[in-house]
Structure 1
Amino acid sequence: MTEVNSYNQVLGERIQDWQPRKAPEAVTLEGKSCVLEPLSGDKHAKQLFDTYKTTPTIWTYIPIGPFEDLSTYRNVVDTLVASKDTHFAIIDKTTGRAVGQICLLRADPQNGVVEVGYVIFSQELKQTTMATEAQYLLMKYVFDSLKYRRYEWKCDSLNAPSRNAAQRLGFQFEGTFRQAQVNKNRNRDTQWFSILDKEWPTCRQVFETWLSDDNFNNGRQKAGLNEIRDAIVKSHDL
Structure 2
Amino acid sequence: MKANWNDDFIKKSAFLIYIGANDYLNFSKNNPNADASAQQAFVTSVTNKLKNDISLLYSSGASKFVIQTLAPLGCLPIVRQEYNTGMEKCHEPLNDLAKQHNEKIGPMLNEMARTTPGFQFTVFDFYDAIIRRTQKPSSYRFFMTNSSCCGIGTHDAYGCGLPNVHVRLCEYQRSYLFFDGRHNTEKAQEMFAHLLIGADKNVIQPMNVRELVVYPVDEPMTEVWVPTTSATVQARESRSSSHGYGSY
Same fold per superposition (TM over 0.5): no
Question: Structure 1 length as normaliser, TM-score?
Answer: 0.32
Structure with the larger strand share = 1
Structure with the larger helix share = 2
